[in-house]
A and B are shown apart, each in its own frame.
With several copies, the nearest count.
Chain A
Amino acid sequence: MPIIVNKNTKAIVQGITGKQGSFHTKLMLEYGTKIVAGVTPGKGRTRIHNVPVYDTVEEALEKHEANASIIFVPAPFAADAILEALENGIKTIVTITEHIPIKDAISVMSYAKQQGATIIGPNTPGIISPEECKLGIMPAHIFRKGNVGIISRSGTLTYEIAASLTRNGLGQSTCLGLGGDPITGLNFVDVLKMFREDPQTEAVVLIGEIGGNLEELAAEYITKENYPKPVAAFIAGRTAPPGKRMGHAGAIIMGKAGTAESKIEALKNAGVDVAEKPSDIAGLLLRKLS
């Protein structure tokens, strides 16, 4: 049994009629994900890829049973879409949308916490538990079912590393992108805790990048809890010039904290194997698991 999503996940797609929403609904359906309904305001009473579309989450849930939602609606409306899912009792929400204003995200995350809901993202590739459920936009063919859990701050780097693991015979239990926006629903520590309790997961890969201190806090947690499963990591941005923004606010370097060096040192001190190149992760894990 993987974490968060599995065979029993039944999802709605918010923003299903948009270009990305529609395209990835098709791919998720092809992967076998149970997409029971879609929501796009003003497009109710239509169908897309044979999935019925409703104007509101409320109506979708009156007519279908669902326990998860994946959100593709544009950033200015995304916080409201998350709230709509939360208010209608959905406890697993994957937010693909990127660039949600910080103010909106903070307010929504606080409510999600009160409701005991799990928000993946925003600005995440989503989550996949191979052969069970894909709630995201990742290219499915690079994943295989197995025993490695992946937690990542970077979408495309996740694919890079997952593909390399698969090529080396290391399948995955669940791969999850925390999301690249400044405020996200989950951090490394949250997911490390879940993988710890998950019997299918035997090792964890942590993919970080410069900026913030989430990797340092993960290292602290691993040390403090004497984390019982092997962890390997890759940190992007070793060669980034200090003080420059690399793509999103997540990558502002402030003084020493948040540099690749700081993160790598903290993780190594916690007993984590840190790879020099993405393709080195597989080798490090194989050594640990043998």
Chain B
Amino acid sequence: MKLFEYEAKSILARYGVPTPKGGLATNSKEAWEIASKLKPPFAVKAQVLVAGRGKAGGILFAESLSEVERAAEKLLSMRVKDIPVRKVWIEEKIRIKRELYFGITTDRFNRSYVAIASSVGGMEIEEIAEKTPEKLIKFLINPQHGFRSFHARQIARKMGYSGSQLLELEKIFLGLYRAGVDYDAELIEMNPLTETIDGRFVAADARIIMDDNALFRHQEFRKRLLEGESELAPQELEAIKNGLAYVKLNGNIGVIGNGAGLVMATLDTIKYYGGEPANFLDVGGGASSEKIAAALKIVLSDPNVKALFINILGGITRCDEVARGILEAREKMRVTKPTVIRLVGTNEEEGKKILKEAGIHVLESMETAAQKVVEITRQG
């Protein structure tokens, strides 16, 4: 789950990380009021959850209160990478000497968290990562005793700092780490972490992505995710509520399957035979009939869908449960769209029997099924 900049900054501030003074506004009047309590010049920043906001024009600068008002108005009426801007964050603009990068994320291969730092941060960090990775400091965090004060100092030293600046960076890095641990962040970063012209440090931008698997420990965020203030499509929201993984795509073949790999391979196969999938929907492992019914409802709510392809290979998922879910949903929703079902694995015989008795034909090969559904949409 991605957090907004203003959420990430308020978390970091509570962990002792200096952030610019600022406030959140949903209209230009509020923006004016917030700015009136701050010192000019100002930065007015669209609160959207997409990367590359700066380059897409989502950050404006202002010298006066009236300029803040105009900037807020402009941002609140625009879309950043197709996402409408609902809130803006107004803050004091920092006088920059140097832009640094510091973040912590997960390292799958080493099965640990990893701290990444660079004395060249800002918008170019991704370019640096690609072109001159030697400018990045990578520090694997020992899971046994975590990220400690001296690790922070080791990194600060390698970034070229000493004296009181080294001690200041130590506090900031540790604060970020502790925030990351407490909030179950799979990514937490300051980019840029700004060195000001008077030699102090301020997190000019901050990003937190929380581990979705740990949201049960952070009910307030789970609630925020499910009750709006997120940038999810209605189907995506409905999917999360039902424990499903859904991604909207641009084609006309609705896809439901179990297991991310299988569903991705299903999309690949549909494309291979010239079809266009309308979505990705993974019901996960061990789906109940209710979950299958919910999945059908979500996929069919997309008006572009002309045909359905249900691809189930039962392991922990039981084919009989799937069959019951399909019948249930078809009955309730009066599904009339052509459906191709491929059903094999655990309790396969029982599942097939249930569907056959309801007059539904079941295929055994993914590829035959994919060809069939592509054919149907071509005819339609």
Contacts and interface: CB of A to CB of B under 8 A. Distances in A.
A and B touch in the complex (CB under 8 A): yes
A83 B148 contact: yes
Interface string B203-223: 000000001111011000000
Contacts of A228: none
A44 B315 contact: no
Interface in B276-332: 277, 280, 282, 284-286, 313-316, 318
A137 B315 contact: yes
B285 A155 contact: yes
A154 B262 contact: yes
Interface in B95-153: 106, 108-109, 111-113, 126, 129-130, 142-145, 148-150, 153
B162 interface: yes
Contacts of B163: 42-44
Contacts of A20: 286, 316
Nearest to B345: A139
Given A102-B106, A110-B111, A159-B313, A56 B264 contact: no
B245 interface: yes
Nearest to B370: A277
Contacts of B286: 19-20
Interface residues of A, number: 90
Interface in A4-30: 19-20, 23-24, 27
B213 A100 contact: yes
Contacts of B271: 238-239
Given A110-B112, A139-B344, A237-B264, A44 B148 contact: no
A125 B316 contact: yes
A160 B126 contact: no
Contacts of A243: 51
A57 B148 CA distance: 13
B260 A98 contact: no
Given A110-B143, A125-B316, A247 B150 contact: no
A184 B346 CA distance: 25
Interface stretch (B28-36, B66-74, B164-172, B354-362): B164-172
Given A155-B259, A249-B186, A278-B366, A58 B264 contact: no
Contacts of A117: none
B344 A163 contact: yes
A212 B110 CA distance: 12
A17 B170 CA distance: 19
B113 to A, nearest CB: 7
Contacts of B366: 160, 278-279
Contacts of B86: none
Nearest to A248: B260
A147 B365 CA distance: 24
B267 interface: yes
Contacts of B285: 96, 98, 123, 137, 155
A34 B348 CA distance: 24
B212 A137 contact: no
Given A44-B166, A156-B315, A246 B106 contact: no
B258 interface: yes
B166 A246 contact: no
Interface string A268-284: 00000000111100000
A18 to B, nearest CB: 10
A156 B262 contact: yes
A255 to B, nearest CB: 6
Contacts of B313: 139, 156, 159-160
* Chain B interface extent, by class: 35 or more
A109 B111 contact: yes
A105 B111 CA distance: 8
A56 B145 contact: no
Nearest to A106: B143
Contact of A240 (B162, B164, B267): B267
A103 B113 CA distance: 9
Contacts of B344: 139, 142, 159, 163
A160 B267 CA distance: 15
Given A101-B184, A110-B112, A83 B259 contact: no
B267 A239 contact: yes
Nearest to B50: A243
A288 interface: no
A187 B247 contact: no
Listed residue (B157, B214, B259, B286) with the most chain A CB atoms within 10 angstroms of its CB: B259
A160 B262 contact: yes
Nearest to A237: B264
Contacts of B142: 87, 110
Contacts of B284: 98, 247
B148 A245 contact: no
B211 A103 contact: yes
B333 interface: no
B261 interface: yes
Interface string A214-227: 10010000000000
A187 B106 CA distance: 15
Contact of B166 (A55, A103, A152, A256): A55
B88 to A, nearest CB: 24
A226 B186 CA distance: 35
Nearest to A108: B145
Nearest to B108: A212
Interface of B: 51, 106, 108-109, 111-113, 126, 129-130, 142-145, 148-150, 153-154, 156-157, 162-164, 166-167, 170, 181, 184, 186, 211-214, 216-217, 245, 247, 249, 257-265, 267-269, 271-272, 277, 280, 282, 284-286, 313-316, 318, 344-346, 348, 365-367
17 contacts: A55-B153, A55-B162, A56-B154, A57-B150, A98-B284, A99-B212, A101-B214, A106-B112, A107-B143, A110-B143, A125-B316, A155-B316, A182-B213, A213-B109, A245-B245, A255-B126, A279-B366
Given A59-B157, A237-B264, 8 more contacts: A19-B286, A102-B186, A106-B112, A139-B314, A159-B315, A217-B109, A247-B259, A251-B264
